[in-house]
Amino acid sequence: MEKKNQNKEGFIPKHGGYRNLITYQKSEIIYDATIYFTGRAFKKYDRTIDQMVQAARSGKQNIVEASMASGTSKEMEIKLTNVARASLEELRIDYEDFLRSNKYEIWGKEHRFTQRFRELNRTPNATYETYKKALEHEQLEICANSMICLINIVSYLLAQQIKSLEKAFLEKVGCGTE
């Protein structure tokens, strides 16, 4: 009688773990803050609300999908991670449009509030509460610029994640294992 394979985990490598990714954690904050912001900044039936919320959701959900796909396809993981980054870029532009159309300042990299936001971002295990004062500020200009700061941070981290995934993918392909 043949001995059956006793490997209960199967042949697909472990995958998931997206909740441990800083990019996921911060994209969840972006999603929650976008819902809060759009509820304050736009009239109830403004189509912009749906567009911004969907872009924020897409950023977050594509990180989840990428993580879940990682067990079977590194190429799909890379593509979905890039879709997450593209969705957040779309959202960043929406925040810039809001600022510009309302004649608010768009903070540059050297703006003192941008610098302060970067300091805040160094807080270990940051949550929505960490950023709440900025994201729910009474001045929409501060809220929108803070969102841009956070989106820029996540976009940078996703770019680094993609580079790392590409490198690992190319190393595997070079060995003929993918």
pLDDT-based confidence at residue 11 (cuts at 50, 70, 90) = very low
Reported as a single tens digit per residue, the pLDDT across 116-174 is 999 999 999 999 999 999 999 999 999 999 999 999 999 999 999 999 988 888 887 65
pLDDT at 6: 45
Distance of CA 69 to the CA centre of its chain: 17
> Are 136 and 41 contacting, i.e. CB atoms less than 8 angstroms apart?
no
pLDDT at 168: 82
pLDDT at 5: 43
C-alpha–C-alpha distance, residues 30 and 36, integer Å: 10
pLDDT at 173: 65
pLDDT at 69: 87
35: tokens are 């819902």
Lowest mean pLDDT among 16-20, 64-68, 110-114, 128-132: 16-20
* pLDDT of 36 higher than 80: yes
pLDDT at 124: 93
C-alpha–C-alpha distance, residues 162 and 31, integer Å: 21
Reported as a single tens digit per residue, the pLDDT across 37-94 is 999 999 999 999 999 999 999 999 999 999 998 878 889 999 999 999 999 999 999 9
pLDDT at 72: 81
Please indicate whether residue 140 or residue 4 has the higher confidence score (pLDDT).
Answer: 140
